[in-house]
Amino acid sequence: KGHGFMVLTGPNKPKSRGHVRIRSADPYEHPEIIFNYLQREEDREGFRRCVRLTREIIGQPAMDRFRESEIAPGPNVNTDAEIDQFVRENLESTYHPCGSCRMGEDDMAVVDSQLRVRGIEGLRVIDSSVFPTEPNGNLNAPTIMLAERAADLVRGCGMLPESDVVVGLAAQWETSQRPSAPVRNVRV
């Protein structure tokens, strides 16, 4: 008694986009940060699926001895509208924001493909803010990979030669929860 667990859930690839804008030339003035969470229907549907899938997983017999009652969103939150309201009232950012310094060659890009800040000589951005999309996991490993590549760029190293490694992934792997058949058969 007295023990419990919680599950935090949310879709990995949100479609809604916000922005960070400089308000003035004063470096002490905080920027405008607008998240625009849940602006796209795909994101609202993604959260509904996450809530329902979490309930399905926690409702399995293997969890019976660990589970008592659902505290949040609560057993009376079931319809799309009820789940949407719960999500709107409780949604928060996680600890790993990314994508705020766009990479590209156009006027809206902050850095070029070499991670150099446009218009400022000798300055590069080498962190997850240059990621074009959010990874499906923690930002630590991809940020380390970016830093390794940035070190090569600073040293003037070129690209590694292409590899013929084939990666076996299920079609739609980013969006499907349960493949209808195993991706590959593993012999034990």
- Per the omega criterion (within 30 degrees of 0), is the bond before 73 cis? yes
Neighbouring residues of 177: CB distance < 8 A, sequence distance ≥ 6: 49, 53
| Contact between residue 110 and residue 103 where contact means Cβ atoms under 8 Å apart | yes
Q: What is the crossing angle of helices 80-90 and 41-58, to 10°?
A: 100
| Contact between residue 48 and residue 23 where contact means Cβ atoms under 8 Å apart | no
Helices within the chain (DSSP H only) = 41-58, 80-90, 140-155
Catalytic residue among 3, 19, 30, 96, which? Answer: 96
Q: Does 3 participate in catalysis according to the annotation? A: no
Q: Phi then psi for 116, rounded to 5 degrees?
A: -80, 135
Report in angstroms the alpha-carbon separations of 166 from 137, 162, 163, 169: 22, 12, 9, 9
Is the Cα dihedral 152, 155, 159, 163 positive or negative? Answer: negative
Q: Kindly list the catalytic residues.
A: 96
